A and B are shown apart, each in its own frame.
Chain A
Amino acid sequence: MSVLTGNFNAGDHSVTEAARRRRFGPIYSRNVRAVVARGLMATKSSNWMVMVSGFFEPVLYLISMGVGLGAIVGSVQGPGGQEISYAAYIAPALLAVSAMNGAVYDSTWNVFFKMNFAKLYQGMLYTSLGPLDVAMGEIFLALLRGAMYATGFTAVMGLMGLITTPWAILMIPASVLIAFGFASFGMGITSFMKTFQQMDWINFVMLPMFLFSATFYPLSVYPQSIQWFIQAMPLWHGVELLRQISVGVFTPATAVHIGYYLVMIALGVLLTTSRLRKLFLK
């Protein structure tokens, strides 16, 4: 039993000493990758069906609405004023929705479970991980999932002949940006949730946002006041951003959409870190 001999000597082992001499912050230990590695290892044993269904949902919408409804609608006006097929019009919007769904599922339901039932974060925060490491690691995992969905969906768009410009490849990083915004906020908001009933509120917010954020028709159908309200919502910015990228038309509004997400990410990370600190380092 080598524990009792040689290399087990109350912490004078050089490797463990080196790990102790790293630079630490009060809430950060530069070790986000350990949280990510744990998430990937846990994914191996998790339910793949849930992940796959998250990918197929927007694909099914694209087929039924784009192809089915599109046959009646015909072509519509795209962001640059050009005529595009209805399917090409809604596809980037559905991609934004898919990025949102992937990020929100990971950062809300999964985080809720880990926080309240698996007590995972309590365990992590009793190590030299800080709350910022945990928050960033979990958000990164959500992004990874968002990126996978986005790549798959973009491929489907390509197969359906809905991609007409090389710019469209930029939809993938843009989707990750959208996912980042939702994941960082989603995790912070989840930290306030104590019961499953409260978790349902998240769906209650997401479904109308999905239906009304100019996903299936232009914003101009609404009266002005409702337009302003929709424009304040994050998904609309994601939909518009991806729609512009999908046809390679960029305007000053593109910068506004990107800026919206950058602010959302900053606020979300701040919220999540301070909440984790409050919950587990009280």
Chain B
Amino acid sequence: MRVSELASKESPVSSPSDAALQYVITAENLTKRYGDVTAVDGISFRVPAGEAFGLLGPNGAGKSTTMKMIGGVSQRTSGSLSIMGLDPEQHGPEVRAHLGVVPQQDNLDEELKVRDNLLVYGRYFGLPMSYLKPKADELLEFAQLTDKAKSKVDALSGGMKRRLTIARSLINEPRILLLDEPTTGLDPQARHILWDRLFRLKEQGVTLILTTHYMDEAEQLCDRLIVVDKGKIMAEGSPASLIREYSTREVLELRFGSERNASVGAELDGIGERLETLPDRVLIYAHDGEAALEQVTARGLRPVTSLVRRSSLEDVFLRLTGRSLVD
């Protein structure tokens, strides 16, 4: 905050919203109710410019609703929200001029060809053709769709459509990119291409706001994230700090067969720091997973399979909510 205050004192020509620019998004007590259902229940967060910020949570946690409110296409019930210093409800078109949006479901213009999708979308932002033509070609390259420029949209694969949607969202060189479940429904290879592209954008200083229910995606892409469940923030921090705080370094996964998993719990008592019994497996949280496994076998227990792995955000979520992320 202080840096920008100083800067604005030194240069009187800068716009009055400079002080707010350090945080590109500020949400306080943001709440959204649909009738009796509270989709977003008083969440507060701030996102500084250039950060990759994630909203991690299961389906129905209120992530998409939060994204819609940021984009100004959903009105909040209460609380305050500021995007680039502007209230998206009062200044919808102006706020969205700064945004790039990748919605959960592709809504490409099927009546237009691939390149025309980019040109027309750019026109919606009031951008001139002299800028849009080279920009569209550049983005097609970026999305690896140059040879599809003249194709119809419905001839593209799912991964290509997704990449085109992302390319389209960049046509106005947004300061903030909103990505709602960007890789849901993509095969692993397509996901990795996409992650690579998003990494590059982040390197160029674009603020990424990302919802996901994939913990690997959140770990890969996010500097910081909030874990959301039932419209509330359960925890906030970097992926590593969340794992440190809410989980152990390693996890030992044991499978004893579906009938035994529940009953074996008492016999494992005292091994590791914490024990989690799921229908299909038992998780032992321990600093040293191999050591924990030795203790298990020393007690004469013979699991069908055993696996030692690093803790992930999935474990954080399980700890915070008692449920898995992907049901």
Contacts and interface: CB of A to CB of B under 8 A. Distances in A.
A149 to B, nearest CB: 21
A246 B1 CA distance: 71
A34 B126 contact: yes
B204 A8 contact: yes
Nearest to A27: B92
A225 interface: no
B111 A128 contact: no
A130 B97 CA distance: 11
B75 A127 contact: no
Interface residues of A, number: 46
Given A3-B200, A122-B103, A130 B71 contact: no
Contacts of B142: 1, 3
A271 B91 CA distance: 21
B-side interface mostly: loop
Interface residues of B, number: 47
A161 interface: no
A-side interface mostly: loop
Given A4-B200, A28-B93, A19 B172 contact: yes
Interface string B91-133: 1111011110101010111111100100011011111100100
Contacts of B108: 123
A26 B172 CA distance: 20
Contacts of A280: 73
Contacts of A166: none
A34 B96 contact: no
Contacts of A26: 90-93
A281 B124 contact: no
A26 B95 CA distance: 10
A123 B93 contact: no
B251 interface: no
B126 A29 contact: yes
Interface string A18-37: 01101011111111011101
Contact of B125 (A4, A8, A123, A128): A128
A10 B109 contact: no
Contact of B91 (A3, A24, A120): A24
Contacts of A4: 200, 204
Interface in B160-211: 172-175, 200, 204-206
B91 to A, nearest CB: 7
B17 interface: no
B164 to A, nearest CB: 12
B107 A281 contact: no
Contacts of A38: 109, 112, 120, 123-124
B139 interface: yes
A224 interface: no
B141 interface: yes
A3 B139 contact: yes
B89 to A, nearest CB: 8
B269 interface: no
Interface stretch (A41-49, A54-62, A215-223, A254-262): A41-49
Q: Which 8 A-B pairs have the closest CB atoms?
A: A10-B205, A127-B124, A34-B123, A42-B111, A128-B97, A29-B93, A24-B94, A119-B107
14 contacts: A1-B142, A2-B138, A3-B141, A9-B204, A10-B206, A19-B97, A19-B172, A24-B94, A26-B91, A34-B124, A122-B73, A126-B73, A128-B125, A130-B93
Interface of A: 1-4, 8-11, 13, 15-16, 19-20, 22, 24-31, 33-35, 37-38, 41-42, 45-46, 118-120, 122-130, 280-282
Given A35-B124, A281-B73, A281-B92, 20 more contacts: A3-B138, A3-B139, A4-B200, A9-B204, A10-B206, A15-B128, A16-B173, A24-B91, A26-B93, A27-B92, A45-B113, A118-B111, A122-B73, A126-B73, A127-B125, A129-B124, A280-B73, A281-B72, A281-B74, A282-B75
